[in-house]
């Protein structure tokens, strides 16, 4: 008597390429799968504005969500630094 295959039998999962585009505070950023610290399951982000790439991270993120958070934090920090410098320049004039 043969045993039917279980629907819970292990399957080979094929990696799906991820290339997600988001907007944050006027900047577009892309999260993509890339070969990196976590092997083929690593992610990176690229920040673009008006067609120019402003920053590209290394593929050091283990999930798309962590790359997304890092990109948003990078944009917030950059805008915060710009605002701080602008306020101090304005105070000197």
Contact 46, 18 (CB under 8 A): no
What pTM was computed for the model? 0.73
Contact 33, 17 (CB under 8 A): yes
d(CA 22, CA 46): 10
With residue 21 as reference, give the H or E element that holds it.
Answer: strand 19-24
> Tens place of pLDDT for every residue, the chain, 93 residues?
555 555 665 655 455 567 899 999 999 999 999 999 998 889 999 999 898 999 999 999 999 999 999 999 999 999 999 888 888 776 665
Alpha helices in 1-93 (DSSP H): 64-92
């Amino acid at each position: 008597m043969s045993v039917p295959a279980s629907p819970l039998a292990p399957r080979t999962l094929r990696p799906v390429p991820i290339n997600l585009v988001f907007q944050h505070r006027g900047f577009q950023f892309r999260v993509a799968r890339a070969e990196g610290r976590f092997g083929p399951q690593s992610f990176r982000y690229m920040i673009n504005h008006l067609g120019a790439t402003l920053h590209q991270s290394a593929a050091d993120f283990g999930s798309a969500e962590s790359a997304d958070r890092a990109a948003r934090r990078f944009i917030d920090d950059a805008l915060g630094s710009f605002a701080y410098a602008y306020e101090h320049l304005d105070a000197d004039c």
